[in-house]
Amino acid sequence: MLHGKVKNSTLKESDRSIAPLYSRHALTSGVSRYDFPENEMLPQTAYNLVHDELMLDGNSRLNLATFVTTWMEPEARQLMTETFDKNMIDKDEYPQTAELEMRCVNMLARLWNSPDHEEAVGCSTIGSSEAAMLGGLALKWKWRERMKA
């Protein structure tokens, strides 16, 4: 989804900033919603600002409108937390991550009954929408090959 730039001049003052009340002496004034603050803030305060706003979102465990898994084993969550700092596209710097990606592609190819005598290709994606679009393109290319024959 693309987002446009918000024009501060068109907003009411109350919509330009966030002014939460915390028990610590962290914020003496509101924080702009659309500009970087002039001064630094405590990491705990930054966390609380974002955390409190995200509490307004719906509970993902109750979302029955999309076909996504919202629960995972604690070990999977721990692995993700331990590897957030890796840039997966940098295969030279993170060769073992690339190896695991290649293994997953092979596992999925076999899960989907790809014949051993045929090639199968794949890659990791950031999210389910990207994965679905790449899957759709793969089906289109397969269809195109069959139509040529």
Pairing of strands 17-18, 31-32: antiparallel
Residue 140 confidence (pLDDT): 94
The residue type found at 106 is N
In a domain, 67, yes or no: no
- Which of these ranges, 14-28, 42-56, 94-108, 112-126, has the smallest mean pLDDT? 14-28
Residue 25, pLDDT > 70, answer no
**Angle CA(43)–CA(52)–CA(4) in degrees, nearest 5?**
90
Q: 128 in a domain, yes or no?
A: yes
Count other Cβ atoms within 10 Å, centred on residue 122: 19
Confirm whether 7 is domain-assigned.
Answer: no
Report yes or no on 26 lying in a domain.
no
What is the token pair recorded at 42? 């405590």
Average pLDDT over residues 95-112: 92
Q: Supply the mean pLDDT for the chain.
A: 85
How confident is the model over 121-130, as a mean pLDDT?
82
Distance CA 49, CA 33 (A): 11
pLDDT band for position 148 (cuts 50, 70, 90):
very high
What the block records as the tokens of 27 is 């914020």
Query: Residues near 22 by Cβ (< 8 Å), separated by ≥ 6?
Result: 45, 48
Residue 79's pLDDT is 95
CA angle 106, 117, 115 (to 5 degrees): 60
pLDDT of residue 23: 65
Task: Tell whether 112 is covered by a domain.
Answer: yes
Whether 56 is in a domain gets the answer no
**Whole-number pLDDT of residue 31:** 83
Please check whether residue 88 lies inside any domain of the structure.
yes
CB contact at 8 A, 135 and 109:
no
Quick check: is 66 in a domain? no
pTM listed for this prediction:
0.60
As for how many domains the chain has, the answer is 1
More confident residue, 27 or 86: 86
pLDDT, tens digit, 9 for 90 and up, residues 48-102: 999 999 999 988 888 877 777 788 899 999 999 999 999 988 999 999 999 999 9
Domain carrying residue 114: 74-148
Query: Percent of the chain having pLDDT more than 90?
Result: 36
